[in-house]
Structure 1
Amino acid sequence: MFALRTRLTPLYARGFATAAAAETQKPAADKAYKVVVIGGGPGGLSVSSTVSKLLGQSQVAVIEPSKVHYYQPLWTYVGGGLKSFSESERPMGELISPQADWIQDKVTKVNAEENTVTLADGKRIGYDYLVVAAGIQVNWDNIKGLKNALGKNGVTSNYSADSVQKTWQFIQDFKGGNAIFTFPATPPKCPGAPTKITFLAEEAFRNLGVRDKTNVIYNHAGAKIFGVDHYGKVLQRLADERGIQTNYFHELIEIKADDKEAIFRNNQTKDVKTFNYDMIHVAPPCGPPAFIKESNIGDAAGWVDVNKETTRHNKYSNIFALGDCSSLPTSKTAAAITAESGVLKHNLIADLEGKTVEPAKYDGYTSCPLIVGRKQLILAEFSGYTGTPMETFPVDQRQISSTAQFLNKEVIPEIYWRELLAGRWTGPSKYREAMAPFRGKYD
């Protein structure tokens, strides 16, 4: 027995050595970059455009599976009959910086300890720095029956590239009855969007001559119409004046399309209530992309776990995040991304250049242009961290303004396409500072 063990010992030793070597030898990346950006949305394109110009050809990669880039804030106007869908889309290849490499695939995992990203096709992409700008995941399946009903028989959503093109048709075809609009229990991208289409539809029903036989119902899973009372009180007053029935803590849990019934759960009392609908616009539940949690780079809720001031990851110093997928506790809007991108780029570029500088700090700035009519808009600008107004112009921006509507509908889209995606626009902070002496105090 002793002799047998003696003969086998070298075999065991070689086996352990091989296993140890396999653990220490990490698979090589198929290709490596100085900076890898996950996502071809406004955050990812803004950062990659700036950084690729700094680093030069093929030092930056943008991982994005989609062939088309959508300016989604425009979809409220598309659903409200004020813009064409084609105005909201551009080919992705035209927007990614020519200095950056476009990897047209989906990320399945970030291997933060190895500084690699795994793609759906199995390839591994190495990085020195990683920027996660993966957007938000729309969870259509979380509402029973919704996915199959969407885009048919009065069921629509401005959060879908397909069904947003049906919204205005359904509004125009509406002959009266219950028109229901919903707001989910989870933070959606552009939290003002469900409210905006409610107001636009109500106005359209008046113009179409069917308002007197229409119940406009806004079932909101939250506690109030807008999170910042400075603007929310004005919105609630307008909703009351226009006869919009607001029901709070009402979360949509099921669509029964055959019976045209929408099932809601009261999140205070836990009671379940059925509403009949003739048209329903659904703002779907949203959440973080699944790969974030699976990669162990997320917080408890699954968002990329970053410092709320510097946008740098709280554990991995060479990872940054911005936009909807990040843990930054502000509203998930394109306006927030403008300010976030400026902070992130300042801090990332300092690292890339090996400089020790005072880090830039994000103050939570966001904007939610609250459309309340075809020529009516309340330009809400505030800190998502404190709820304090951060208005650009020296007027009370709670007032309904046709000028603000023109700015949001015609000017800001041009800034988005020409300046933000090219990395040149980082928000209106300089203009806000310049106009500060002419601005009165907030009440």
Structure 2
Amino acid sequence: MHDNAQQQGATASNADILIIGGGAAGIGLAASLLKRQPGLAITLIEPSDTHYYQPAWTLVGGGAYDVGSTARPMAQVMPKGVQWLQAAVQGIDADGQRVTLADGRHVGYRQLVVCPGLRLAWEQIEGLEQTLGQHGVTSNYRYDLAPYTWQLVQQLRQGKALFTQPGMPIKCAGAPQKALYLSCDYWRRSGVLKHIDVEFNLAGPALFGVATYVPALMKYIEKYRAQLAFGSQLVKVDGPAKTAWFESLDANGARVRQAKPFDLLHVVPPQVAPDCVRESRLANAGGWCEVDPGTLQHVRYANVFGLGDVCSTSNAKTAAAARKQIVVVAENLLALRAGRALPLRYDGYGSCPLTVEKGRVVLAEFGYGGKLLPSFPWDSTVARRSAWWLKASFLPWFYWNGMLKGREWLTRCSAAE
């Protein structure tokens, strides 16, 4: 590497392999790379001092998990031997092979892996940020708000409960309806569901993106007497007035806005790629890191790979997807460094354990094009107790003790053709 010791007054450092993001994808990849080649020089950029197991937040909102167990110090999960730069990325210069940090420093790289996740765009809903966490407005998409969801669910004995889902792509496409199912299940068991009017407002045209699972989920929608409002996008919230406004298209394609009162409002915000990716030459038209859907190598910059939620790939944005992608990127990145052909292909695998009631889960597992990719030899459309155990007990344990440590169980990938 050439050494730019001073650049615009900011210290420059050089990395061999540079990873942007210390979430499930970044930490898991660093661990997997070091398992394969223990001496690798890896630098990881991550501003947060806490690492979260986000998949359990829906369980927290349903009173089935302790929120404190979903957080650990970042220093505790950082693989030994990785140089951690605790900073935010301001920009990515893919042509100059360097990253600019928020404090003005530059970091050059030989290979770059982009996995900073996505950004929750709360600000796109008028009035939402001012009222989140009060006036009955909550979201399981935030560590500090998932416990408030459970508090609201327990307190509500009658009235109107609204659940929302924005346009795709979002992380864990099943999470918006998991909030509805677990809330309704609690109200049903408490004998108050008949006094609560439940409505699910989805920006999209279908309950779930993979049609195979829709009949099983519709049984629960009917069981809980929930109303579905398709093509209905949350655009504004007035917490003190307990009113939410939704936009939809009428029969003539004209935009109409409708006010709906609520006692409980569970919001899932629109989700976008982080600015550092969106404003870089790595982005596609939608702002996502544009990678080959199979190799996960960038389509224009051969020394760049992407994985996790920031990718342009059409898979479900889940930790389970990252778990499979990690193996593909680890193998392909090391092959690239050795001058070999990229050996592995990602099949689009993602998993949505749909918690349809406390104690039962529909384990949706699928790849590109909605192809079913079950890990177990059973009918995956059936809600099962064993899948609940997997979701609530095994997967969190495996996350901390397996995935973040580079253990690659159940990660079979197809070889390149």
User: TM-score, normalising length from structure 1?
Assistant: 0.88
Say whether 1:201 aligns with 2:186.
Answer: no
SS of residue in 2 equivalent to 1:87: helix
Aligned residues: 405
Residue in 2 that maps onto 1:393: 376
Superposition pairs for residues 292-331 of structure 1, below 5 Å? Answer: 292-331=277-316
Write out per-residue CA displacement over residues 377-428 of structure 1, whole angstroms, 9 at most, x where no aligned residue.
1011111x21111111111011110111011110011111111111222644
Give the one of 332, 344, 352 matched to 2:329.
Answer: 344
Please say which structure displays the higher CA radius of gyration.
1
Superposition pairs for residues 33-432 of structure 1, below 5 Å? Answer: 33-54=15-36, 56=38, 59-267=41-249, 269=253, 270-352=255-337, 354-383=338-367, 385-425=368-408, 427-429=410-412
Write out per-residue CA displacement over residues 294-350 of structure 1, whole angstroms, 9 at most, x where no aligned residue.
221100000001101000001110000001001111111111111111111110011
Write out per-residue CA displacement over residues 193-229 of structure 1, whole angstroms, 9 at most, x where no aligned residue.
0111101101111122221210011111110110001
C-alpha displacement at 1:52, in angstroms? 3.8
Moved more, 415-424 or 71-80: 415-424
8 A contact 2:331–2:342 mirrored in 1: no
What percentage of aligned pairs have identical amino acids? 36
8 A contact 1:58–1:101 mirrored in 2: no
8 A contact 2:181–2:220 mirrored in 1: no
Instruction: Say if 1:267 and 1:159 are closer, same or farther in 2 by CA, change over 3 A.
Output: farther
Read off the aligned partner of 1:361 and give its amino acid letter.
R
Gapped regions of structure 1 (runs ≥ 5):
1-24, 433-443
Distance 1:404 1:123 in 2: 46
C-alpha displacement at 1:98, in angstroms? 1.4
8 A contact 2:15–2:108 mirrored in 1: yes
Distance 2:174 2:108 in 1: 38
SS of residue in 2 equivalent to 1:324: helix
Distance 1:284 1:426 in 2: 32
Distance 1:348 1:393 in 2: 30
Read off the aligned partner of 2:122 and give its amino acid letter.
W
8 A contact 1:341–1:426 mirrored in 2: no
Residue in 2 that maps onto 1:20: none
Moved more, 112-121 or 266-275: 266-275
SS of residue in 2 equivalent to 1:47: helix
SS of residue in 2 equivalent to 1:395: coil
Read off the aligned partner of 1:415 and give its amino acid letter.
F
8 A contact 1:221–1:267 mirrored in 2: no
- What's the RMSD between the two structures over aligned residues? 1.8
C-alpha displacement at 1:154, in angstroms? 0.8
8 A contact 1:378–1:397 mirrored in 2: yes
Distance 2:395 2:329 in 1: 22
Distance 1:278 1:148 in 2: 17
SS of residue in 2 equivalent to 1:312: coil
C-alpha displacement at 1:46, in angstroms? 1.2
Read off the aligned partner of 1:329 and give its amino acid letter.
S
Query: Which consecutive aligned stretches of 4+ in structure 1 deviate over 6 angstroms post-superposition?
Result: 25-29
Gapped regions of structure 2 (runs ≥ 5):
1-5
Write out per-residue CA displacement over residues 141-188 of structure 1, whole angstroms, 9 at most, x where no aligned residue.
000011111010210000112111211001011121001100012321
C-alpha displacement at 1:57, in angstroms? 5.9
Distance 2:345 2:241 in 1: 52
Q: Which has the higher helix share?
A: 1
8 A contact 2:35–2:406 mirrored in 1: no
Instruction: Say if 1:29 and 1:128 are closer, same or farther in 2 by CA, change over 3 A.
Output: farther
